[in-house]
Structure 1
Amino acid sequence: MISPVAVASLVRLRHRKAIERVLREGRSWSTPLLKLIAAPNDLGVTRVAVIAGRRALGKAVRRNRAKRLLREAARLHLHEIRPGWDLVLIARPDLPERKRQDAEAALCEALRRLGLLVASREGPGESFPKETE
């Protein structure tokens, strides 16, 4: 039996080739705080990679805070994301000064725009419910 902690844990996308595949083949959406790039995988599990570049963010303290904010936002909303996707989250320069709720809102907006939320009405292959008169 899988423990509840393991179920709620974030599956990290770690290998360079896998991340490069997502960057090359994925669809993207940008917000002022982050850029989300998503590509389907054949695993049935959603994996997440976080990138916080030195040029964009500066010193290690800012990069590490940005990565923590994005990982936590992804962990909190993992149950809402369609399974079978590889996601790359790229931190933008304004992210380290913001609160966790701002990072969550930016991530949810990007996921909704790309149709990756389970409850999303705008997802691929889904249709709006018919209105009754």
Structure 2
Amino acid sequence: MQRYDKVMINDYSETEEGYLTVCVPITRPGVFPYQRSDGTIQMEAKLPEDIFSDRTIRSAKSKPVTDDHPNEPVNLKNYNRYAKGLSHTDARVEDLKLYVSMTITDEGLIQKIYDGKREISIGFMSDVVAESGAYNGQSYEFVQRNVEIN
């Protein structure tokens, strides 16, 4: 299933060419609400063994940055339509969060950031498995497995 996580850009730097570079935590373990197609909410866990797996960390490297979420996963055929920058290859776990740096190369998106746009949201695919439990005292009904950043 396709899913989205959001965080805020707190700091960025400008390159000599005018691009913006940011380093942000793109996801963390926890239990999060996701809306079903009927409008109800289901609680899904992102467990450390899944989001800090080699597979997920590797998937965060060298991925396109877009302005909001396209209605389809970004790939080679639609990259030029959606890409506004690229994530770096420095994806890493730090302070129980998955971090990656990214450079934004699109003048319009850079201007939106200067004008106050600060929310960044990763898109990813995962298997959502019916599995009840609790993580850090929060109950969940489902677990996200095989997380791959897009």
> By percentage of residues, which structure has more helix?
1
TM-score by length of 2: 0.24
> By percentage of residues, which structure has more strand?
2
TM-score by length of 1: 0.26
